[in-house]
Amino acid sequence: MDSRIIAGVDIGNSSTEVALACVGNGRVEFLSQYLVKTTGVKGTVDNVLGIRQALKEAAGMAGVSFSEIAALYLNDAVPVIGDLAMDVISETVITESSMIGHNPDTPGGTGLGIGTTVQLDELPDTCDGQDYIVVIPEGTDYEWAAVEVALPGHVIRTLSNPYGLATVFGLTPEETKRIAPIARALVGNRSAVVIRTPQGEVIERKVEAGRITFHGQRNKVEVSINDGADIIMQGMERAGQLLDAVGEAGTNVGGMLNGLRQNLADATGQPFDAITIGDLLAVDAMIPVSVSGAIAGELSMESGVAIASMVKTERVPVQKVAQAAVKAFEKMATQVKA
């Protein structure tokens, strides 16, 4: 068998390595290797920029041209969102908040609506050219609202983003900081209503720790985060081989797990619903919490649960990486010949 030069590509969470070798006649001769920082999220098309750079450097060190490389071999790089794979879950109390959130179960339509709320019986008298959102039934005294509905298979984007909320309502940096937990709790919702009330009308708003539902091969098991890490892990074990884990909508754990799905969906181009939680670890933890009204910024330690999870996707992303890498390699080889 004639000898040929091949390139092995190992895409990692933080680094990407390319190694060149001459293979043939029953032997393998190592030629060179080069390591670069992984570009983009592991297992996504953004990795190609790093692969191209490492391949160029490795080829230069080995003294070979791109046209001499017969094949590229990539590892099965599953996308990983490493920096968001763990979070501490507890109840969040937002004091002096003027924002509340809601997730309708049966939304209709699509898009984002912003306007001043008005009672249905008062609507005929509003002729000042402003945008209004009709409140049904009567009895509410909220002043402003925003409503967002996503297309089937998609999730809301503006109201689940603190900066999106800040833009919609014209919030100050301090107000944006206070409502961030509410925005996060809405991550993954199909629709949402967020209402801004007059200052001082809402004293506090609680975002619960929430519940996790484990979908396993044997059972479907639901556990509360407040029950602690041991109960959570026992619940996952009772479910059997984990197929997916779903966090309660509008809670801290729902925001965490849905946030992972959304980030990976954005990175891979896959539908939100096609991404599942493949594994999960819960550990009891202590959380420093600011004391309301404290003069010197005192903190108190409260119990919570640290959650780490792994997200599973289809093989489609790495196949896209391979296709893009081959195109980039062929383009580089053509440029050298030219």
Both 272 and 181 in one domain: the answer is no
Residues 226 and 87 in one domain: yes
Domain boundary among 202, 226, 252: 202
The confidence score (pLDDT) of residue 166 equals: 86
- Who contacts 282 (Cβ-Cβ below 8 Å, separation ≥6)? 229, 232, 233, 305, 306, 307, 308
In 3D, which of 37, 46, 35 has the Cα closest to residue 79?
Answer: 46
Query: Could you say which of 168, 202, 236 is where a domain stops?
Result: 202
Check whether residue 85 and residue 41 sit in a common domain.
no
The CATH number covering residue 52 comes to: 3.30.420.40
User: Any bridge partners for residue 205, and if so which?
Assistant: 94
Q: Do residue 137 and residue 266 come from a single domain?
A: no
Pair 61, 193 in one domain: no
Do 186 and 252 lie in a common domain? no
User: How much is the pLDDT for 180?
Assistant: 80
The secondary structure of 167-231 as a DSSP string is HHHT--HHHHHHHHHHHHHTTT-SEEEEEEPPTTS--EEEE---EEEEEESS-EEEEEGGG-HHH
CATH value at residue 130:
3.50.30.70
Q: What 3-state class would DSSP assign to 290?
A: strand
Q: Name the domain count of the chain.
A: 3
Edge-to-edge order in the sheet of strand 211-216 = 220-224, 211-216, 242-247
Same domain? For 234 and 255 the reply is yes
Does residue 19 contact residue 7 with C-beta atoms inside 8 Å?
Answer: yes
Q: Six-digit token pair at 112?
A: 């984002």
Q: Closest Cα partner for 303 from 251, 226, 233, 246?
A: 226
Map tokens 């959380």 to a residue. Answer: 287
Crossing angle, helix 173-185 and helix 252-268, to 10 degrees?
Answer: 90
Within 8 A by CB and 6+ apart from 204, the residues are: 93, 94, 95, 96, 97
C-alpha 142/C-alpha 138 separation (Å) is 11
Q: How far apart are the first and last CA of the chain?
A: 30
> Do 148 and 113 lie in a common domain?
yes
Q: How many other CB atoms sit within 10 Å of the CB of residue 222?
A: 12
pLDDT, residue 22, reads: 93
Q: Output the domain CATH number for residue 248.
A: 3.90.470.30
User: Both 86 and 232 in a single domain?
Assistant: yes
Per-residue pLDDT of the chain (338 residues; tens, 9 = 90+): 578 999 999 998 889 999 999 998 888 999 999 999 998 878 788 889 999 999 999 999 999 888 888 888 988 776 665 444 445 555 555 555 555 566 666 666 677 878 887 776 777 777 677 888 777 655 544 445 577 787 776 788 888 888 888 888 888 888 888 778 778 888 878 788 887 766 655 555 677 888 999 999 999 999 998 888 899 999 999 999 999 998 888 788 888 888 888 877 777 777 787 888 888 888 887 766 665 555 656 666 667 788 888 777 665 667 778 888 888 877 776 765 54
* Angle at which helices 316-337 and 47-62 cross, to 10°: 40
Residues 191 and 114 in one domain: yes
Q: In terms of domains, do 35 and 116 share one? A: no
- pLDDT at position 223, please? 93
Domain containing residue 301: 80-91+208-312
Last residue of a domain, one of 136, 169, 202: 202
Reduce the DSSP state of residue 332 to 3 states and report it.
helix
**Residue 33 to residues 50, 52, 94, 124, Cα–Cα distance (Å):** 14, 13, 53, 74
Give the sign of the dihedral formed by CA 271, CA 273, CA 278, CA 284.
Answer: positive
Asked if 87 and 215 sit in the same domain, the reply is yes
Q: Provide the pLDDT for residue 30.
A: 94
Residues facing 119 on adjacent strands: 135
At 179, list the tokens: 């409502």
Alpha carbon distance 259, 160 (integer Å): 10
